[in-house]
Structure 1
Amino acid sequence: MAGMSIAVCLPGSAAKRVDEAVAEAMAPFASDGVGSVERDVWDSYRICASLGLPVLAGHEGDPRLIADRPRWDGSLEPALPGECAGGPRGLIDFRDALRAEAADHAGRVWDRWQEVVSRHLAPDDESVFFYRHLAAGGTRDSYGTSREAADYRAQPAVRAWVDIAPELARPDIADHFSFGWDPVGIGQRSREEYAATYAFSLLPPRNVLTVSGWWYELGDAPLHGACHGPLECVHEPDFGMEHEGVQSYLLALPAETLLVNVHCHV
């Protein structure tokens, strides 16, 4: 058996009955045949601040924050400074300023790449050269020093980007902006999609149980708590399975919506 955490989203009206509201939201996903969905998810859980939700700076003492619940032996699990077991969405830190800076910088990166491509032949993605290398009998380990890798780097647009990228490097925002990867992918998305991807990349991936009862666990199709299984479910999911969809959902929640970090034994 293993453990996982999920952010349970509750209406703000549940603030005075958090434990009961979490239990009601979690019940359909219980194991041992108790829950209503066909895939058993958890056999025990606890509202927990460890690996929990980051508190918005300056609000660490707000009484609306949700406290860690004791373990079976009555002890509390140590939480990192600035983390809580939950609270109103408006008190949770979604790194708004840094995300805005990342989106703005990603937009500039996208614009510069378009300038490069406009002056050169459109380059092929590095995957073209990698699979050409494999087809010639090479291996993944030998690709980096292969003729195919050199051919990829010799493309005029890629060579030009090598000179430009240091001016745009911002590893202080995100590792992505160190540019140690194939730049061709920059232009494979719209400016808006590229900017959003690297704004959302600053937020950790989370499992989420939505207000309307959808269980989103990383890597699995969402489950609706009112339905036994996906074949009979007639409900429209709140969003897709992508990291961006989860984060967009959390960011769009009203400020009074409660987010509760629940650690499950699964």
Structure 2
Amino acid sequence: MAKERVTVCLPPCEPAGLQQAIERAMAPYRYEREDMPADWVGEWDHWYVSGAGCEFPVVAGHEGDPRLVREELELSTGPRVLPSGLCDGGPRGLLDLEAARRPAAEQAERNWADWHELAAAHPAAQPFGVFRDRWLADPAGRSHGDVWAEYAAQPVIKALHNQPELRDRVGGEPLDTLGTDRAAYVAREAAAVLPTPALLTLDGTWVGIAGDERRAWFNTYLDALPPEAMVVRVLYHG
């Protein structure tokens, strides 16, 4: 049992009715439902509104809209102080989703350009996956460490390890993780910003979000919601 987040999508509702609307939407996935078979396994036993660490940016000029959701939380460091430009949820039309994605896309563009500038100055290298697959097919008494050493001995990977700031940004296996499609890499990085581990859709479907395809779908789904639909971050124990 651990705490996880779900992004809950709701029909339009007034602030005073938000808790009840979330309760109704979440209810089908509660543990220990008496109307379900004995082997029923739900998703949560308690929950509360919280976007701490994954807040939504607010569309500029609408920071004071009373429909925005800002939960007052007491953190271990004291009362939560939330900037006016962020919220835990609100009408989809007041959430600036692109403002959340844009910095990640810009950073991905920089990562791509800096890595490929470094790579262009060295002989072509092979991704670690090539070394790993070759080893798995024929271990020949070598260890994983031996295989990693072979990969890391390539000139461009040696050069990357001498640039720790870049290595922190692109990781130790950029040939595997950045791929060869710049646009796809940037889109993938941008799509990873908004998703939570689960999404509760307007029609009441609980969808687990894992992997690039589901994260891309999460973004597409939120983008297509009606402007009046409520989107709220919820922290649950499950």
Band the TM-score falls in, shorter-chain normalisation: 0.5 to 0.7
- Please tell me whether the aligned partners of residues 50 and 78 of structure 1 are also in contact (alpha carbons under 8 angstroms): no
Query: Structure 1 residue 52: deviation in Å?
Result: 5.7
Letter in 2 for 1:10: L
Write the distance in 2 (CA, Å) between the matches of 1:21 and 1:43.
17
- Please tell me whether the aligned partners of residues 216 and 241 of structure 1 are also in contact (alpha carbons under 8 angstroms): no
Counterpart of 2:80 in structure 1 is 79
Write the distance in 2 (CA, Å) between the matches of 1:49 and 1:180.
28
90, 94, 103: which one aligns with 1:98: 103
Counterpart of 1:54 in structure 2 is 56
Distance 1:80 1:218, change over 3 A: farther
- Please tell me whether the aligned partners of residues 30 and 41 of structure 1 are also in contact (alpha carbons under 8 angstroms): yes
Write the distance in 2 (CA, Å) between the matches of 1:35 and 1:53.
35
- Tell me if 1:89 matches 2:92: yes
Query: Structure 1 residue 86: deviation in Å?
Result: 2.0
Counterpart of 1:64 in structure 2 is 67
Counterpart of 1:209 in structure 2 is 200
Write the distance in 1 (CA, Å) between the matches of 2:63 and 2:167.
31
Q: Percent of counterpart pairs with the same letter?
A: 29
Counterpart of 1:256 in structure 2 is 228
Query: Structure 1 residue 55: deviation in Å?
Result: 3.8
Query: Structure 1 residue 111: deviation in Å?
Result: 7.1
Query: Structure 1 residue 178: deviation in Å?
Result: 2.8
Question: Any idea what SS the aligned residue of 1:135 has?
Answer: coil
- The TM-score with structure 2 as length reference comes to 0.68
Write the distance in 2 (CA, Å) between the matches of 1:97 and 1:109.
18
Letter in 1 for 2:46: S
111, 119, 126: which one aligns with 2:128: 126
Distance 1:136 1:213, change over 3 A: same
Distance 1:42 1:91, change over 3 A: same
Write the distance in 1 (CA, Å) between the matches of 2:167 and 2:90.
31
Counterpart of 2:139 in structure 1 is 135
Q: CA RMSD in A?
A: 4.3
Distance 1:241 1:213, change over 3 A: farther
Write the distance in 2 (CA, Å) between the matches of 1:197 and 1:176.
19
Q: Count residues with an aligned counterpart.
A: 224
Distance 1:93 1:138, change over 3 A: farther
Question: Any idea what SS the aligned residue of 1:22 has?
Answer: helix
Query: Structure 1 residue 200: deviation in Å?
Result: 2.5
- Please tell me whether the aligned partners of residues 49 and 79 of structure 1 are also in contact (alpha carbons under 8 angstroms): no
Tell me the alpha carbon deviations over residues 9-48 of structure 1, each in whole angstroms, 9 at most, x when there is no partner.
Answer: 113x324532332122112112212476943112222234
Q: Any unmatched runs of 5+ in structure 2?
A: none
Counterpart of 1:43 in structure 2 is 45
- The TM-score with structure 1 as length reference comes to 0.62
Query: Structure 1 residue 93: deviation in Å?
Result: 4.8
Write the distance in 2 (CA, Å) between the matches of 1:179 and 1:103.
9
Write the distance in 1 (CA, Å) between the matches of 2:14 and 2:4.
24
Superposition pairs of residues 1-266 of structure 1, within 5 angstroms: 1-11=1-11, 13-15=12-14, 17-34=17-34, 38-48=40-50, 50-51=52-53, 53-56=55-58, 59-68=62-71, 78-82=79-83, 83-94=86-97, 95-102=100-107, 104-105=109-110, 108=113, 116=120, 123-130=125-132, 132=135, 135-140=139-144, 143=145, 146=146, 148-153=147-152, 155=154, 158=156, 162=159, 178-185=169-176, 188=179, 190-203=181-194, 205-218=196-209, 242-266=214-238
Deviates more, 1:182-191 or 1:204-213: 182-191
